[in-house]
Chain A
Amino acid sequence: MADRPVAVVEKRLLDVKLGELGKWLGGRDFTPNGLISSVRSGHDRYYNKYINVKKGGIGGIAMLLVGYVTLSYLWEYDHIKHDRWRKYH
């Protein structure tokens, strides 16, 4: 897909080559407005891909719930650490 040359910063993350990663990170928009807009665009992408369709499946909300479960486990890990069965792994 070698069409017109696109600036590095505007490429999607998966199209960015490893060497350009630093430049890509540096050029992203980290102002509050930029953060909010990127959150909103991410939400819109997910919503329009999995939920806002005629025959959506369980996957749309199931993935959200799984994400919630993993995130809450992650945040509680420091507390759950104490329930470990063995001290050395």
Chain B
Amino acid sequence: MLFAAGSLKSSGPLGAGLIQASRSLHTSSQSLAPLPPLPEKGGKVRHGIIPEELFQLLYPKTGVTGPYMLGTGLLFYILSKEIYVINHETFAGASIGAVIIYAVKKFGPSVAAFADKLNEDKVAKAQEVKTLAMASLTQAIEDENKEQWRAEGRSMLFDAKRNNVAMLLETNYRERVHMVTHEVKRRLDYQIALQGLHRRMEQEHLVNWVEKSVIGSITPQQEKASIAKCITDLNALAKTVQAKATV
């Protein structure tokens, strides 16, 4: 139980540094949105295997060389008491360690650069998607605004249409009024013509009748007498004219 409890908080390379380590890095089970960005660099580790916190822990009491002294002392103690036994595995381990250290020192930076480039590509792709989405959304916003502006003009459209319809109605109404007057006038003209005709016919008929009766009343004797009178009148006239002409 002691081991279980102690191992988590105190022992090993983790525990020594927890005083100085920034507590804000440590997780809570809540998930924040948007997620906070990853920290740039991890916890500092010296010589690849010893966390920096150990050095910071010992610095106030023993200065800069403290941890190294501690390391050397521990190493000699372990070797002399043969808590660490030198056997065939030591040689194997030393060779492997040397190769690993050489490989890390030689190829570390290039591998790191490669990994960074992979990361950057991922980020760039996501960023591209995001910018594309943003662009399309702003475009959609603009289109929406344009549609709204267009919708505002609808009232003018309706006014124009209303005007058109009113004009049609007016035209139709005037046409019909015109037709009505025309028809009425035609009928009245007919009546007038009819009356005129009546009057004319009556007049003509009367005249004819009068003429006929007058002519009928002229006896043949009267006719001879009037003709003779006419002849003497004409003679007299001719004489006077002749007299005037010679004068």
- Contact flags A1-39 to B (C-beta < 8 A → 1, else 0): 000000000001110000000000100101000010011
Contacting A at CB under 8 A, from B38-56, are 38-45, 48-49, 51
- Are B8 and A42 in contact, with the CB atoms below 8 A? yes
Query: Which of chain B's residues has its CB closest to A15's CB?
Result: B19
- Contact flags A21-63 to B (C-beta < 8 A → 1, else 0): 0000100101000010011011011101111111111111011
| Residue numbers in B under 8 Å from A35 (CB-CB) | 4
Q: A14-B10, A49-B21 are in contact. List 4 more A-B contacts (CB 8 A).
A: A53-B40, A55-B112, A67-B13, A85-B86
- Are A62 and B45 in contact, with the CB atoms below 8 A? yes
- Are A53 and B41 in contact, with the CB atoms below 8 A? yes
Q: Contacts A13-B15, A48-B25, A83-B87: A58 and B116 contacting too (C-beta < 8 A)? A: no
| Residue numbers in A under 8 Å from B42 (CB-CB) | 49-51, 53, 55-57, 59-60
Complex Cα spacing A13 to B13, Å: 14
| Residue numbers in A under 8 Å from B12 (CB-CB) | 67
- Selected interface stretch from B77-85, B139-147, B190-198, B239-247: B77-85
A–B Cβ pairs within 8 angstroms, 29 of them: A12-B9, A14-B9, A14-B10, A14-B15, A28-B5, A38-B4, A39-B8, A42-B7, A42-B9, A42-B14, A44-B26, A45-B14, A45-B26, A49-B43, A51-B42, A55-B40, A58-B45, A58-B104, A59-B45, A59-B48, A60-B45, A66-B49, A67-B13, A73-B84, A80-B85, A81-B85, A83-B87, A84-B82, A85-B85
| Residue numbers in B under 8 Å from A89 (CB-CB) | 80-82
Complex Cα spacing A63 to B4, Å: 19
Query: Is B163 close to A, CB under 8 A?
Result: no
Complex Cα spacing A44 to B8, Å: 11
Query: Is B214 close to A, CB under 8 A?
Result: no
Interface size class of B (residues with CB under 8 A): 35 or more
Query: Which of chain A's residues has its CB closest to B14's CB?
Result: A46
Query: Which of chain A's residues has its CB closest to B13's CB?
Result: A63
| Residue numbers in B under 8 Å from A49 (CB-CB) | 21, 25-26, 42-43
| Residue numbers in A under 8 Å from B94 (CB-CB) | none
- Are A55 and B48 in contact, with the CB atoms below 8 A? no
- Are B18 and A12 in contact, with the CB atoms below 8 A? yes
| Residue numbers in A under 8 Å from B84 (CB-CB) | 73
Q: Contacts A45-B14, A58-B108: A25 and B2 contacting too (C-beta < 8 A)? A: yes
- Contact flags B25-69 to A (C-beta < 8 A → 1, else 0): 111000000000011111111001101000000000000000000
Q: Contacts A12-B9, A12-B18, A59-B49: A54 and B86 contacting too (C-beta < 8 A)? A: no
- Are A54 and B38 in contact, with the CB atoms below 8 A? yes
B85 to chain A, nearest CB (A): 5
Complex Cα spacing A46 to B26, Å: 9
